[in-house]
Structure 1
Amino acid sequence: MDMVPYPIEVAFPSLAPYAEGNTGIPYVYSFDSGVPGCHTMINALTHGNEVCGAIAVKAMLDGKVRPRRGRITFAFANVEAYQRFDPARPDASRFVDQDFNRVWQPSTLDNLALDSSELRRARAMRPLIDEVDYLLDLHSMHERSAPLNVCGPLDKGIALAQRLGVPAHIVSDEGHPEGRRLRDYGDFGVPESARNALLIECGQHWEASAVTVAMNCCARFLVLCGNVDLADIPKSWLKPLPDQRYVVRVTDPVVADSTDFRFAGPYTGLETFPDKGSLIGWNGAAPVLTPYDNCVLVMPSLRQVRAGVTVVRFGQLLA
Structure 2
Amino acid sequence: MSDNPPIEYDFPDIRRWEQGDAPYIHVKESGMPGPTVMLAALTHGNEVSGAIVVDELLGRGLAPRQGTLIFSFNNFEAYQRFDPNNPFKSRMIDEDFNRTWGRLDQPATTRETRRAQVVRPYVERADFLLDLHSMHDDCVPLMLCGPLDRGAELARRLGAPADIVRDRGHAAGMRMRDYGGFGDPQSDKTALLIETGQHWRASSVVVAKDVAHRFLTETGIVEASDLPADWKQPAPPSQRIVQVTHAIATKRGNFTPARRFEGQEVITKAGTVLGHDDGEPVTTPYDDCVLVMPAVNRPLRAGVTVVRLGRLI
Q: TM-score, normalised by structure 1?
A: 0.95
Asked if 1:111 corresponds to 2:111, the answer is no
Kindly indicate whether the alpha-carbon contact (under 8 Å) linking 2:4 and 2:86 is maintained by their aligned counterparts in 1: no
Aligned to 2:29: 32
1:175-194 Cα shifts (integer Å, max 9, x gaps): 11100000000000011111
Paired AA for residue 55 in structure 1: I
Deviation at 1:304, TM superposition (A): 6.3
Structure 2 unmatched runs, 5+: none
The DSSP-based 3-state class of the residue aligned with 1:56 is helix
Measure, in 2, the Cα distance between the counterparts of 1:123 and 1:217: 27
**Aligned twin of 1:310:** 305
What's the TM-score once normalised by structure 2's chain length? 0.97
2:209 alignment partner, SS class: helix
Q: Percent same amino acid at aligned positions? A: 49
Partner-residue secondary structure (3-state), 2:165? strand
Partner residue of 1:92? 89
* 1:213 has 2:212 as partner: no
Provide the rounded CA distance (Å) in 1 between the counterparts of 2:61 and 2:281: 53
How far apart, in 2, do the equivalents of 1:276 and 1:268 lie? 18
Alpha-carbon distance in 1 for matches of 2:127, 2:172: 26
CA distance in 1, matches of 2:16, 2:208: 21
Does residue 52 of structure 1 match 2:49? yes
- Asked if the contact 1:268/1:301 (under 8 Å) is kept, the reply is no
Which consecutive unaligned segments of at least 5 residues does structure 1 have?
Answer: none
Match of 2:6 in 1: 7
**Structure 1 residue aligned with 2:294:** 300
The root-mean-square deviation of aligned C-alpha atoms, in Å, is 1.3
Partner in structure 2 of residue 159 of structure 1? 153
| Alignment partner, residue 275 of structure 1 | 269
Match of 2:244 among 241, 250, 257: 250
Q: What is the deviation of 1:284?
A: 2.3
The 4+ residue runs of structure 1 with deviation greater than 2 A are 2-6
Q: Aligned equivalents of 1:305 and 1:61: distance in 2?
A: 37
Amino acid in the other structure paired with 2:48: V
- Give the SS at the match of 1:119: helix
**Equivalents in 1 of 2:100, 2:57: separation in Å?**
27
Deviations 1:239-289 (A, max 9, x none): 111110010000000101112112222213011111100011111211110
> What is the CA-CA distance between 1:12 and the residue it aligns to?
1.8
Deviation for aligned residue 1:90: 0.9
Q: How many residues align?
A: 312
The answer on whether the counterparts of 1:251 and 1:313 sit within 8 Å (CA) in structure 2 is yes
